Structure 1
């Protein structure tokens, strides 16, 4: 059990499961980009651990960049996305957007619009986690590590109001026994 601020979280996924999924994603992406040099665009803050491990397993040439977006307050998405840090010049490049988690899809919709305006050659989306029940957009998520239920999770880069990103495993919000 882990307590962050006022909430308790219970174990959900271990490091071995996470690393297996990350390695498989890296291999799939490397096969698809065998003759290209993609730019991996990590969405901060959440994707930093996932992107770091993804790069350890990725065996092709690549570039790495970051952008910082915000759409969460507490354990809920606000539905509005703001850009806090830009990604730099991506014009004409093949971009792989690296997300920690896709739930409603608002962040993805925002970043894809930015990429189109930048004039990228192509883009694909890679996410360690996808919540199919919560996903409300039509954009394809090209590379998905693990599909999970629509429950709030922390650890491995994901946080609850700033805490929990440094936890090496994934924890989910403890269920209320009265539910």
Structure 2
């Protein structure tokens, strides 16, 4: 990356709007952990973090889930094919057998949710006893991949803006930003 491009990346952060502070995000994660524990504490779930965005939230959420679980990650991307629509490409497929077990998928954001919907469908089709989803952020708009797509556990809800921080990126950067930020003007 050129120094001009890196300067732009830095400027985006400087000019961004702070939507949720680090303390507000941590509080939301604690509340999610309590709800997840209440629902899955006795269920022996398999928990998958969706890479790359789910890395930060999973790293903070998992130690708060004080019950037996198996944790792993998966990495899937969606691409458009003009003849078949949305298809899921597995970079790293689920590596733990979850047949007949409850599955919890952890991701950073539910925006339109095409990839997340495909992952949920894959887990159901592969025999999960149930599939639930935890997202740090649910973006409020009407463009979800399908009308019934909702997260079971939500940390924060945000307006329809371009956001970054806590796992969400801006052009591959600022997943490490200490809070949830919105790009100025977007």
Q: With structure 2 as the length reference, what TM-score do the two structures score?
A: 0.82
Cα distance in structure 1, aligned partners of 2:21 and 2:87 = 31
Task: Between 134-143 and 118-127, report the one with greater CA deviation.
Answer: 134-143
How many corresponding residue pairs? 169
In the alignment, does 2:161 pair up with 1:147? no
Please report the RMSD computed on the Cα atoms of aligned residues, expressed in angstroms.
2.2
SS at match of 1:4: helix
Alignment of 1:90-105 (within 5 A): 90-105=98-113
Q: Where is the helix percentage greater, Structure 1 or Structure 2?
A: 2
Aligned to 2:60: 53
Aligned to 1:37: 44
**Rg (Cα) greater in structure:** 2
Cα distance in structure 2, aligned partners of 1:25 and 1:41 = 16
Q: Where is the strand percentage greater, Structure 1 or Structure 2?
A: 1
SS at match of 1:59: coil
Structure 1: gaps spanning 5 or more residues? 73-78
Alignment of 1:16-165 (within 5 A): 16-71=23-78, 81-88=88-95, 89-133=97-141, 134-137=143-146, 138-165=148-175
Aligned to 1:76: none
| Distance apart, 1:34 and its partner CA | 2.6
| Distance apart, 1:9 and its partner CA | 2.8
| Distance apart, 1:3 and its partner CA | 4.8
Aligned to 1:166: 176
Conserved 8 A contact 1:22-1:54: yes
Q: With structure 1 as the length reference, what TM-score do the two structures score?
A: 0.85
